[in-house]
Amino acid sequence: MADRDPFHEAMESLHTVQREYTATNSINAVTAYTVSHTAETAVRNLFTFATGTNFPYDRFPHHVPEKIVANLGLLPFYSPEMNGFLGKVTGYALQDVRFENTRAFHDHTDVKAVERGRYLMSGLTQFVKETVALQNNVDALQAIRSWKP
């Protein structure tokens, strides 16, 4: 039996967003949540890879990958572009876009946000790529192993 890919779930989630974007040239309000979920899943997968334990969900904010990355001490291991991407994802409040009565929904569905889908798609693809690459970075893995709740 082949070894299981530790980033399988993150990659499948990324493929879901990619299919949506390819089919519609957009990321709709329902799929927008999947962007932050995919980024979060990639970091959770990295945590499990580094520690051999399940990710402690109750110790981290849900659906805010920037805070998870910061709390694990991983921000320095990402490119400046990805740190900027994480900040934008936090600012876009993608976890709230699926609710019609939120500012995030109105901002995301505004005609002025037409390029947001392309930015999210390219940023997410690069973020997952950089996260997967961290499995080979001993300093990043040690930062995760050193994390204390």
Tens digit of each residue's pLDDT (9 = 90 or more) over 62-84:
889 999 999 999 999 999 999 99
Residue 22: which region, alpha, beta or left (left: phi > 0; alpha: psi -120 to 50)? alpha
Percentage of the chain lying above the pLDDT 90 cut: 79
Q: What is the pLDDT of residue 133?
A: 98
User: For residues 41 and 54, is the Cβ–Cβ distance under 8 A?
Assistant: no
Q: What is the pLDDT of residue 2?
A: 52
**pTM, two decimal places:** 0.94
pLDDT at 1 > cutoff 50: no
Q: What is the pLDDT of residue 144?
A: 98
DSSP single-letter state for residue 136: G
Q: Give the Å distances, CA to CA, from 89 to 28, 80, 134.
A: 15, 14, 20
Domain boundaries, the chain: 29-146
Q: What is the pLDDT of residue 75?
A: 98
Nearest-angstrom CA–CA distance, 134 and 118: 25
* Segment 17-34, tens digit of pLDDT: 999 898 888 888 888 999
pLDDT at 3 > cutoff 70: no
